[in-house]
Amino acid sequence: MKHPIEEIFEDENLIKKIQVKLPKLFQIAELESQRAGKTGMEVGSLRERILIALLIHKFGEENVNTEIPITETETDVMIKGFPLSIKTKTGKGLSGIKSVWTVDHESIKSYLKNYKPNMGILLAN
């Protein structure tokens, strides 16, 4: 069974809207997150909310569950009962993507070593 997120990439009208509006919305999020010319890490939360609004637009509020406990390690939102992790970044390459929120390097290494995907991931660059 495929993840509902795949429906976004099959909806040509929505793809066109995303191509026009998402870069502008992400730029606004970056401007809102700047202090002294530097983008703060809260930009990720703003981008995530923008993408969740897109998901609600596509699937309807009744099919998008945003009431995910903060302690949940990967799941940011549920779409039609399917968990989804949202990752966003600015710039080229994959540097800057948080695999897990911690500063403990041993915990990070352990997490990455034992990581097995168990949900859809939406990566917006």
DSSP character at residue 33: T
DSSP string, 44-107: HHHHHHHHHHHHHHHH-GGGEE----TT-SS--EEETTEEEEEEE--SSSSTT--SSS-S-HHH
- pLDDT tier, 24 (very low <50, low <70, confident <90, very high otherwise): very high
pTM listed for this prediction: 0.82
Residue-averaged pLDDT of the chain: 87
What domain count does the chain have?
A: 1
Rounded CA separation 119/125 (Å): 19
Predicted confidence (pLDDT) per residue in 48-63, tens digit? 999 999 999 999 999 9
pLDDT over threshold 90, residue 22: yes
Rounded CA separation 122/120 (Å): 7
Instruction: Give the pLDDT score at 79.
Output: 96
What range does the domain containing 61 cover? 4-124
Q: Which residue, 71, 66, 81, 72, is CA-closest to 120? A: 81
CATH number of the domain where residue 76 is located = 3.40.600.30
